[in-house]
Amino acid sequence: MSVASPEPVVIPQPAEAHAPALDFDNLKVGEKSPAKVNQGGFLSVVVLGASGDLAKKKTFPALFNLFKQGFIPTGDVQIIGYARSKLTNDELRKRIAGNLKPGKNALQDGQAVISEFLKLITYVAGAYDSKEGFMELEKAIASRENVGDGGSSSTRRLFYLALPPSVYPLVSKMVHAHCMNKHGWTRVIVEKPFGKDLASSEELSGQLGELFTEDQLYRIDHYLGKEIVQNLLVMRFANRFFIPLWNRDNIANVQIVFKEDFGTEGRGGYFDEYGIIRDIIQNHLLQVLCLVAMEKPVSVSPEHIRDEKVKVLKAVQPIKDEDVVIGQYEGYKDDEGVPNDSNTPTFATVIVHINNERWDGVPFIIKAGKALDSRKAEIRVQFKDVPGDIFKCKKQGRNEFVMRLQPSEAMYMKLTVKRPGLDMAGTQSELDLSYRERYQDIVIPEAYERLLLDTIRGDQQHFVRRDELRAAWEIFTPLLHRIDCGEFKCLNYASGGRGPPESDDLISRAGYVRTHGYVWKPPTLQSGM
């Protein structure tokens, strides 16, 4: 069921130069002299929810990493925290300091670079529904912008909502009423979850759409900032040998997997409101699926790429009950805040089918879970068996192309090769690109710092568009409603295992053939390399 949403109200803004098409050369990490982002005037970054865990552990460290690499010049930026907590500037800085790591590529040494960064940060205390608080915030922002009278002719304002989605509409109204930029652009970053189903997502999108235009809104999904995920388009469309292979004629199935080896650990009350499908599958893993399955875009401009992702989502068929296994690990209900009758899944395997010419008949296996046997996130493309198998390759296992997102970023191809020796015997090995071995002198940026830089540059390629969000919720809302009302029950599974055995059975029925006896191991760095 689609939900009507109000037409966005266009807020008059000064003319703003749109970001140019993405230039991969300009996105190389580890550059000695990175291009600064001070074009367009003085930059104000406002972190709303500055005293919370997300801001402390992700937002401020990401800004610091950009600062230490020279992407945020000291004289052209201010960072302002806003929250309800009664803190001084120094108290906020002390909270943040413990999460800042200088790193080997800092432009200065040790504590000096941290001290320089912390000087950029000030704090304003106020309630999220307080007109007076946001007027004070506006005063703090404007006091450093120095517009006119020999100062800058334009300014830039970035608001990062490190807050629960329930307060997005309220805070956004306050920002719109009191803190909009009159001398340049205003951009707003919002965190997932973007609603709990199609109706709530559309309601939230409508509320934000009344206040901000689509090019002012940046719906962040940090998986789109991961190095391997960003490499997907280059890998697929810049290498000739993948072009004839990447289709239903050669690929048997695709797995997109997220595993954690720990449970909710005190966050059960929050997690129980959402579950693994809302928390991981509907957003992170579905975004990865789009990049794996999409057609080649007209160009690498953000809108062309997002257009192709939406086409994939619209081609996904309704999910059938027989293509789903959900589970809950034993001991989950012991976590604080989790009700005894909870049916919230901590594990799910979902088979997705894409009804188009390229992928007809190829199952996309999406699997995510907590309290499992390992921690990893990866894409695993399994190819079909070799026709006319004269070397008995089936004994060794199928070819697979694996992209390891975390930990130990890597891409490797599983191949059958001749075992060294006098016998003509086959064995499985790999062609391996392990990032920490190949790129030892390059700092791979964290997802949040990359996405913050994209926002400052005005590049929305790695952010979720409103129609994209709607199409994603249309896929999963019917299943989620059945789980919420208890029609679809969770299976119990032991912590530290692979999840419910029924999941392995489902994956096997979908056509995945497991390779026994082969385990990929990240290469060990040798001394003196």
Active-site amino acid positions: 284
**Which strands form 363-369's sheet, in the order they lie side by side?**
426-434, 410-418, 400-406, 376-383, 251-259, 363-369, 347-353, 324-329, 491-493
Identify the residue whose tokens are 């296992």: 397
Tally the C-alpha atoms within 13 A of residue 217's C-alpha that lie toward its C-beta.
27
DSSP code of residue 354: B
The phi, psi pair for 138, rounded to 5°, reads -60, -40
Query: Is the omega angle on the peptide bond into residue 6 within 30 degrees of 0, that is, cis?
Result: no
Which residues, in sequence order, are bridge partners of residue 433? 411
Q: Which residues contact 166 (CB under 8 A, 6 or more apart)?
A: none
Measure the CA–CA gap between 297 and 28, rounded to whole angstroms.
21
Q: Which among 64, 47, 46, 43 has a CA at the least distance from the CA of 55?
A: 47
Identify the residue whose tokens are 């189903």: 197
| CA 21 to mean position of chain CA atoms | 21
- Other C-beta atoms closer than 10 Å to the C-beta of 432 total 17
**109-135: b (≥16 Cβ within 10 Å) or e:** eeeebbeebbebbbbbbbebeeeebbe
Q: Which among 211, 246, 218, 121 has a CA at the least distance from the CA of 160?
A: 218
Asked if 231 and 294 touch (Cβ cutoff 8 Å), the reply is no
Residue type (1 letter), 290: C
Structure-token pair, residue 325: 């296994």
- 178-to-66, 133, 137, 138, 403 alpha-carbon distances in Å: 28, 10, 9, 7, 46
Task: Work out the burial of residue 344: count CB atoms within 10 Å of its CB; fewer than 13 is exposed, 13-18 middle, 19 or more buried.
Answer: buried
Measure the CA–CA gap between 294 and 289, rounded to whole angstroms.
8
What is the distance between the terminal CA atoms of the chain, rounded to a whole angstrom?
Answer: 58
Helix extents (H) in 299-434: 302-315
